[in-house]
Amino acid sequence: MMLQEEQFIPKPAEILEVNDMTSIEKLFRLKLMDEELERSFNYMPGQFVQVSVYGVGEATISICKSKTRPGPLELLVRRVGRVTNALHRLKEGDIVGIRGPFGNWFPVDEMEGHDVLIIAGGLGIAPVRGVLQHVLDNRGKYGEVNLLYGVKGYEETLFKDEVLSPFRGESGFRSFISFEKDDEFYENLMKKYPEFVKKGVVTVLFDLADSYIDPSNSYAIVAGPPVMYKFVLKELEKRNFPADRVYVTLERRMRCGVGKCGHCIIGGASSIAYVCKDGPVFSYFDILSIRGAI
């Protein structure tokens, strides 16, 4: 009972750093003020927290960092509503409330010994960034690592230094980038690396990446806007990816974090699921039986 009650109590956390990532997204670095809670605060790639702006409300935010990396908790926040607008007005030294971590996570242990294909669109890079960091920090345990990232343009690209690092020869993974609008940076990059950069939505990258992907020995991780999922999953099906080795996050359906409010419910009478409790990470095999999940 005590544990359940504790889930509803936000723990004070200090904002240590705020960085502008794009015109509508900021990266927050935070530390729980209780030193014992800060030391014991563990999380896995794909989990999320509830962030309280006192006097305003609470928002569900995915953790965008692997615990394998030292330093404070990192949250990428897009300015889309009342709470996130209030968060964007906060600065270093301000205090927020943190509940969590909540939810399940991507099966990074099960993925060991296999190739890893990460497919992200726009803000979807945030919940899968922890997977990429975890895999790179345990590089010897995984096979080939490929990132397919779709963005509108350079200014909207999140974590530029990291996703573009393969083009500088600095990382242990391949990065394939698609861009949708006229963009001088990416058009120049495409001229230099036509085998890794292409104009269009993220699915245009499959043809470029095919020679590097072995579906029989790969796990696929997918995150992005809802409209992206069915097209990406269709491409994975065409390549015979096993449904039980394709994982998606339904993070945008998360609400209270503990399944009490009911707003995260998906499916019907015979296949109901609470995204906050049963997810937000689901295998494609699982969501095939949940009506309306995708």
Output the domain CATH number for residue 146.
Answer: 3.40.50.80
| Assigned domain for 110 exists | no
- Tell whether 158 and 225 lie within a shared domain: yes
64 is in an annotated binding site: no
Residue 18 and residue 34: Cα distance in Å, rounded? 21
- Tell whether 193 and 281 lie within a shared domain: no
Domain range for 284 is 250-293
189 is in an annotated binding site: no
For residue 77, the cross-strand partners are: 26
Q: pLDDT tens across 121-149, in order? A: 999 999 999 999 999 999 999 999 999 99
Q: Is the pLDDT of residue 1 over 80?
A: no
256 is in an annotated binding site: yes
Q: pLDDT tens across 184-240, in order? A: 999 999 999 999 999 999 999 999 999 999 999 999 999 999 899 999 999 999 999
For residue 219, the cross-strand partners are: 116
pTM beyond cutoff 0.85: yes
3-state SS assignment for residue 1: coil
Residue 276 and residue 262: Cα distance in Å, rounded? 9
User: CB–CB of 21/29 below 8 Å?
Assistant: no
- Tell whether 28 and 98 lie within a shared domain: yes
- Tell whether 174 and 210 lie within a shared domain: yes
Establish how many alpha carbons lie within 13 A of residue 43's alpha carbon, considering only the half-sphere containing its beta carbon: 28
Residue 134 and residue 74: Cα distance in Å, rounded? 14
- Distances 22 to 19, 49, 153 between C-alpha atoms, Å: 9, 22, 11
- Tell whether 67 and 177 lie within a shared domain: no
76 is in an annotated binding site: yes
Token pair of 34 as six digits: 């209780």
Residue 112 and residue 34: Cα distance in Å, rounded? 34
- Tell whether 20 and 92 lie within a shared domain: yes
Residue 98 and residue 7: Cα distance in Å, rounded? 10
- Distances 282 to 19, 104, 278, 286 between C-alpha atoms, Å: 31, 9, 8, 6
Torsion of CA 177, 182, 184, 185, to 10 degrees: -20
Give phi and psi for 25, each to the nearest 5.
Answer: -130, 135
| Assigned domain for 15 exists | yes
Q: pLDDT tens across 213-222, in order? A: 999 999 999 9
User: Structurally, how many domains does the chain consist of?
Assistant: 3
Residue 81: CATH number of its domain: 2.40.30.10
- Distances 61 to 42, 162, 178, 201 between C-alpha atoms, Å: 16, 21, 25, 25
